[in-house]
Each structure stands twice: as C-alpha cells, then as structure tokens.
A and B are shown apart, each in its own frame.
Chain A
Amino acid sequence: MRRLSLAAGVSLAVFTLAAPLFLERGTLNDVWSLAFAVILASAWNILGGFAGQVSLGYSAFLGIGAYTTVLLSLKGMDPFLSLPIGAVLAAIFSVAIGLPAFRLRGPYFTIATIGVGEAVRVCASSVSFTGGSSGLRMPAGSFDFTRNYEAMAVLAILTVVVAALVKRSAFGQALAAIKQDIDAAEALGVNSTRFKLGAHALSAAIVALAGSLYAINFQYIAPGSVFDFRLSLSIVLMPIVGGVGTIAGPVLGALVFSTLQIKLLSIPALRDSYLFIYGTLLIVVMLFEPKGILGLLRRVFNRRLRRFYADA
C-alpha cells in the first residue's frame, strides 16, 4: 500500500510539472486548481491532522497572503518577491491567534477559530486600506500564467514533501502524541504549546503562499473571494474526506473535491447544492469511516490481500 501510494504520488507530481507541455489552457486551469487544493489540504493537515487541532479559520491565512501580495504589488514590488513576506506575516498572525486559542482543547479550540475567521473577514471588509468589501485589483501588467502555474505546482509538491518529512520527524511524533493524549505527552516532556504553535505557523505560512499565488492568478481579490465560506469549508473537508492525519489522504481529498467542483458543480442544477453535498459527505465520513477514503481503501485492500493469501 505504501509503495503503491508513493508511486501514485510521484507520477502525479511528474504529471503536474509536465502538464504545460501537452495540456491546453482550460485543462491546465483545472490542474492549477488541483495543485491549489492539494496545498491547502496538506498544509491544514499538518495542524488539523497530525496534531488533531481542527481549525475552521484557515481562510484568514489565505487572505493574509493574498492581500500582502496585492498591496505590495500596488506599491511596485514584484508579486513573486512578496510571497515570503505574506508567509512570514501569516506565521506571525498564527502565533498571535494560537497563544490564547491553544489554551482551549479540542472542540473549544475549533469554535474559537470560527470566531477568528469571522473577525478577520469583518475587519477586511471594514478597513479602508484593504479596499473594503469591494476588494483590490492587481496593478495592470504582464501576467504570466505559465510562471504562476509552475510556482503553484512546485509549491504543491513541496508541501506534500514537507508534510511527509514532518510526519516522520521527532516533531511529527510530538504532534501525534499531542493528538492522542495531550496530558500524557506533557508528562513525558513534550512542550505541547510550542509544538502546536510551530505546526500552526508552518501550515499558515504555506497557506499564505498559496493565497499569494491565488491573487496573482485571479488579479483581483475581495473579502467575498478569499474569505469565501466555500473555500474555508473545503480546506477542512478535503483532508477529512480523504483521510485525516495521513500524507496521501489530503491529496486524495483534493482530487475528489477538485473533480466535484469541476464536473458536478458546473451542472447548473447542482451548483446550489454544494453545501448539501459537502455536509452529507461530512456526515457519512464521520458516521461510517472517520479515517476517510484512504481508510476505506486500506480496509478493502487489506481484505483483498488477506483473501489472496488465504486462497494461495
């Protein structure tokens, strides 16, 4: 199973990188969305999956990246140079939010993050330098889709690699211990607050990078787009539906959601049913397979394998 998913991952990575050579722009756009989704899902999973701290406020980090890039570009900076600045700002913000919020445990933390998301959205639409609710446009200039595409593809691959490295490291082990029993982890010397803040900052920075690229690609942002409820919703749902706390799960979830978005929701009759589809998916996963699609695949695969050996 592990070797299988590694092979699938590598081929997906090669395909994504090479796609501009043989795909037309329209399809390439879909792959761009997939890469974007993979980044969001895998980055969220570092805190939400590995450490079990489910946050519903990640659109804030996406917005910080997007707004930083647009505002600095309007000041004349090269958009791509603004990427690390947005990432650092998001990481700082994540620590500022995390210091009080991580005093809360489990669901209490989750509800506090709904508040963070709300507060950031309210602020972005009421403050003047963000252009209020009407948003901001990137300065007119040469927009190079291929450059943006390659950046998004590389970031997606890097995010998955970083997530895999984190999971295998001592840092990842500490996060796993925090997820399973935070008091027992503390009793063995794990400084849970520091590790949670670290995971939060890392994933926030990655999401902010994706937000910057999002702004460069669409050339226009507004609270209604970067803080779109649908977006913050899918950031959470993709890893959960795919398989929370794993490496392949969020990628799988991103694939499923991008396909849903492209195929299903382009049918006018279904466009207004996304909440129903997302909600039902969540209910079904929680009731029947909390380990997501990956958990389901593993179960089926293991059963097949067992039957194979039994027959042999």
Chain B
Amino acid sequence: MPEPILRVKALKKRFGGLLALSDVSFSVAEGEIYGVIGPNGAGKTTLFSCLVGSLPPTSGSIRFRGREIAGLPNHAVVKRGLVRTHQIVRPFRDMTVEANVSIGAHFGAGKRRGADARGRVAAILERTGLGARAGSLAMALPIGDLKRLEIARALATEPAVLCLDEVMGGLNPSEIVAAMSLIRAIRDSGLTVLMIEHHVHAVAGVTDRMLVLNFGEMIAEGVPRDVLQHPEVVTAYLGDDAGAA
C-alpha cells in the first residue's frame, strides 16, 4: 500500500479542562473522498483547524505528503498544499469575486502572479459556476454563490488535499445534488477531498470512507455502509432521529 497523502496519529486538542479531540487517528489515501461526521460540538471543525494549523494541536502527529506539519502556521500549511473552507463563509466582502479568488492564486501553493494568476482564476470561476459573477462585490452574492466562492478560493491555492467544512449546510435538495457532482469533479481532477458534513446521507452518497466523531472521540471509521450500521453510531449520532431520517 502506498504512503497515504495524509496520516493523523493520536491527535489531541485541549481547551483548558476540556478535551475537544482525544486520540484521533486516521489516514487518507490520495484521490479519496473522506467524510467526517458527528453531532454538533463533536470536534469536527476543531479537527480541521488543527489539520491546517489555524489552531495548534496539543499533541499528536499530522503527516502530509510524508512530512510532519503539526504546529506549522496556517499559511505555511496552505503553501504545502492543504487548505480548508469555512462552514460560516468568510468572503472578503468589499472585494470582487475575482479579487477574492486571486488572493488564493497569489499566496497559495501555486504562488502565481500576473497573467498566469488571472488565467488560473478565470478557469476556476468557470469551473465553480461563478464566471458571470467575477466582477460583482462579494457582499452582493446570495448564500449559494458565497458557498461556491469559498470553494473557489480554496481551489485557487492549488491544494493537493481540500478540506470542506459543511459546504452543503443550508442548501436545497437540487443544490445539494449540484454540490455533490462538483465535489466528485474536484476529486476526478486529481485532488483528495476531506469533508465535514452534518447531512449524513449527503456524505454517505459521495464519500469512499468516513470517520465518526462524538465528544472529540472516534467512534467508528470505514466505508459508509458499515459505519452507518455501527451500533454506537446509531445511538450516539443518529439517536432517536435515525428512524425518522
């Protein structure tokens, strides 16, 4: 088996007396779509923050493309090819859509400048369906477009691994179908995708493998079919809603 592109070992994050992540370990193979699910407050977003370095992990190892990245600052991790989106979108509101995306192109792993950067930005805007919006200010966009902008900016950094934090939250069923095909297309273009999702069935439909967190602990990992039948997952995460959903 080849070296996984991302290998997390015994990752721990403590806030004061609270253990937000305890001994989380998993590996993601190149070209996989890997899901992270769990109830609110399970530590999913904290996990992403530790992976990209916006929060320093308390202990543990994160190996990305064969090199240790735990403890590196966020911008350095991005330059190595690991990037995340935010669940609550964070566009630069006073900038145009194009300028938003070009920040990623300029300062991400690609470090593109001038015409090279402009070409790359235009291609990504086309691909994410924002081409017609290139010149509008980010603050004028509806939420669906803002979610796409969040992905477009991350793609512009030219990552090897893209971490998506609940990109389907708040979308309607037809938008979810579109988002799922976009995620597949991103994978098919050669990227590895990690995705947090609250919407279990959306994840199960698109991921190769998934991980379930509850109160910062891993309670299951594997292919979606097995994970969703895991008794602990059914009680802890799906709870009484399991039958209804």
Whether A176 and B73, one on each chain, are in contact in the complex, defined by CB atoms closer than 8 angstroms, is: no
B residues near A187, Cβ cutoff 8 Å = 52, 54, 74, 78, 83-84, 86, 90
B103 proximity list for chain A (CB < 8 A): 173-174, 177, 185, 188, 190
Determine whether the beta carbon of B107 is less than 8 Å from that of A190: yes
Q: Which residues of A contact B214 (CB under 8 A)?
A: none
Which of B73, B93, B94, B108 is in CB contact (< 8 Å) with A188?
B108
Question: B104 interface residue, CB < 8 Å from A?
Answer: yes
A191 to chain B: which residues have CB within 8 Å? 73, 75-76, 107
Task: Report the bound CA distance from A173 to B113 in whole Å.
Answer: 12
Q: Report B-chain residues with C-beta under 8 Å of the C-beta of A181.
A: 90, 92
* A67-B131 Cα distance, complex, nearest whole Å: 55
Interface residue? A186 (CB, 8 A) = yes
Q: Which residues of A contact B157 (CB under 8 A)?
A: 188-189
Could you give, for residues 152-179 of chain B, a 1 whenever the CB lies within 8 Å of some chain A CB and a 0 otherwise? 0110110000000000000000000000
Distance in Å: Cβ of B168 to nearest Cβ of chain A: 20
Given contacts A176-B92, A180-B95, A184-B92, contact A189 B86 (CB under 8 A): no
**Using a CB-CB cutoff of 8 Å, which residues 170-203 of chain A contact chain B?**
170, 173-174, 176-177, 180-181, 183-192
Point out the residues of chain B lying under 8 angstroms from A177, CB to CB.
92, 95, 103
B57-109 interface (Cβ within 8 A of A): 73-76, 78-79, 83-84, 86, 90-95, 99, 102-104, 106-109
Main secondary structure of the interface of A (DSSP, over half): helix
Q: How far is the CB of B161 from chain A (nearest CB, A)?
A: 14
- Residue interface mask A92-132, B partner, CB < 8 A = 1: 00000000000000000000000000000000000000000
How far, in Å, is B198 (CB) from chain A's closest CB?
A: 21
A233–B203 alpha-carbon span in the complex (Å):
56
Chain B residues, Cβ within 8 Å of A180? 92-95
- What's the Cα separation between A187 and B52 when bound, in Å? 8
Report the minimal beta-carbon distance from A223 to chain B, rounded to whole angstroms: 39
Q: Which residues of A contact B104 (CB under 8 A)?
A: 188-189
Interface centre among B54, B73, B75, B91 (most CB of A within 10 A): B75
Provide the bound-state CA to CA distance between A78 and B95, in Å: 47
Q: Mark B139-153, 1 if CB is under 8 A from A, else 0.
A: 000000000000001
- Choose among A170, A173, A176, A186 the residue that contacts B54 (Cβ–Cβ < 8 A): A186
CB distance from A186 to the nearest CB of B (A): 4
Interface residue from B54, B75, B156 paired with A190 (Cβ < 8 Å): B75
Residue among A180, A181, A192 having the largest count of chain B Cβ atoms under 10 Å: A180
Residues on A with C-beta less than 8 A from B107 are: 170, 174, 188-191
What separation, in Å, do the CA atoms of A249 and B120 have in the docked complex? 33
User: Do the beta carbons of A183 and B54 come within 8 Å of each other?
Assistant: yes
The residues of A that contact B75 with a CB separation of less than 8 Å are: 186, 189-192
For A174, the chain B residues whose CB sits under 8 A away are 103, 106-107
Closest to B78 in A: A189
B93 partner residues in chain A, CB cutoff 8 A: 180
CA distance A191 to B102 in the complex (A): 15
Partner of B102, one of A173, A184, A186: A173
Residue of A nearest to B138 (CB): A180
Is there contact, CB below 8 Å, between B90 and A176? no
A185 to B73 CA separation, bound complex (whole angstroms): 12
Complex Cα distance, B138 from A302, in Å, reads 21
* Nearest-neighbor residue (CB-CB) of A187 within chain B: B74
**Of the residues A173, A184, A192, contact of B106 by C-beta under 8 Å:** A173
- The CA of A181 and the CA of B95, in the complex, are separated in Å by 12
Residues A170 and B113 in contact, CB atoms below 8 Å apart: yes
- Bound CA–CA A170/B108 (angstroms): 12
Residue of A at shortest CB range from B84?
A187
What 1/0 flags go to A26-50 for Cβ under 8 Å of B?
Answer: 0000000000000000000000000
* 8 Å CB interface, A188-234 against B: 188-192
Name B residues whose Cβ lies closer than 8 Å to a Cβ of A.
Answer: 52, 54, 73-76, 78-79, 83-84, 86, 90-95, 99, 102-104, 106-109, 113, 153-154, 156-157
Q: Which residues of A contact B (CB under 8 A)?
A: 170, 173-174, 176-177, 180-181, 183-192
Closest CB pairs A-B (n = 4): A189-B78, A189-B107, A184-B90, A189-B108
**Besides A180-B93, A181-B90, A186-B78, 4 other CB < 8 A contacts?**
A183-B74, A187-B78, A188-B83, A191-B76
**Can you spell out 10 A-B residue pairs with CB atoms less than 8 angstroms apart?**
A174-B106, A176-B95, A180-B95, A181-B90, A183-B74, A187-B52, A188-B107, A189-B107, A189-B109, A191-B73
